[in-house]
Amino acid sequence: MLSLLTSLWSPVEVHRELDHTVDDVFATLADPRTYPDWLVGAQRMRSVDDDFPAPGAEFHHSVGPIVDATIDDSSTVRHIDAPHSLELEVRVGPIRGDVAFSIEAAGRGSVVRLAERPAGWAALVTPLIRPALGARNALSLRRLDHLLALRGPASPRGAP
């Protein structure tokens, strides 16, 4: 029973296999200007610190279901291990959360994982929003895959 309760408050994690190299995937995740193109709810980028994705660097964007109904958001880099992981603290109004991307080589492509967990008082609702958060993030990874495909085929590992 305790493990069930613990899992209800654990990060919501989704993953997707991509036909793109770790470097290609990481380059897109490390460029927040791409987020409105693939991250569900991201509507427009307002600013990005010049040193992004260095730890402590921020980007600011607006999120919402449609362009005319948005809330200003900011995200701060907590940790980076290029090209394998990027961890962010996200803030949407009074709501805080932790987001971690990890990318591993798999065959000729990669597997990207997205783990997200509400933080602070918002963590109390994690069990209630797990299905919606999982569905949103799974769709975001599908859109990321599509964006990478539009940019062209991934270069073979080791190619210039």
> The domain that contains 29 carries what CATH number?
3.30.530.20
Structure-block tokens of residue 8: 């209800």
Task: Evaluate if pTM is beyond 0.75.
Answer: yes
- Structural domain boundaries enclosing 20: 10-150
Count how many domains the chain has.
1
Give the span between the Cα atoms of 91 and 76, in whole angstroms: 9
- Residue 35, Cβ density class (10 Å: 0-12 exposed, 13-18 middle, ≥19 buried): buried
Is 20 a member of any domain? yes
CB atoms within 10 A of CB 116: 23
Model confidence at 4: pLDDT above 70: no
When pLDDT is averaged across residues 71-92 and rounded to a whole number, the result is: 96
Is 56 a member of any domain? yes
Sheet holding 109-119, edge to edge: 12-18, 109-119, 95-106, 85-92, 69-81, 58-66, 42-48
Is 23 a member of any domain? yes
With bands split at pLDDT 50, 70 and 90, how would you rate the model's confidence at 158?
Answer: very low
Is 155 a member of any domain? no
Is 157 a member of any domain? no
Is 137 a member of any domain? yes
Give the span between the Cα atoms of 93 and 16, in whole angstroms: 29
Is 65 a member of any domain? yes
* Element housing 144 (H / E): helix 126-150
Is 5 a member of any domain? no
Name the 3-class secondary structure at 50: coil
Rounding to the nearest 10 degrees, give the CA dihedral for residues 144, 31, 75, 52. 160
Burial 135-154 (b: 16+ CB within 10 A, else e): ebbbebbeebbeebeeeeeb
pLDDT at 85: 98
Model confidence at 160: pLDDT above 60: no
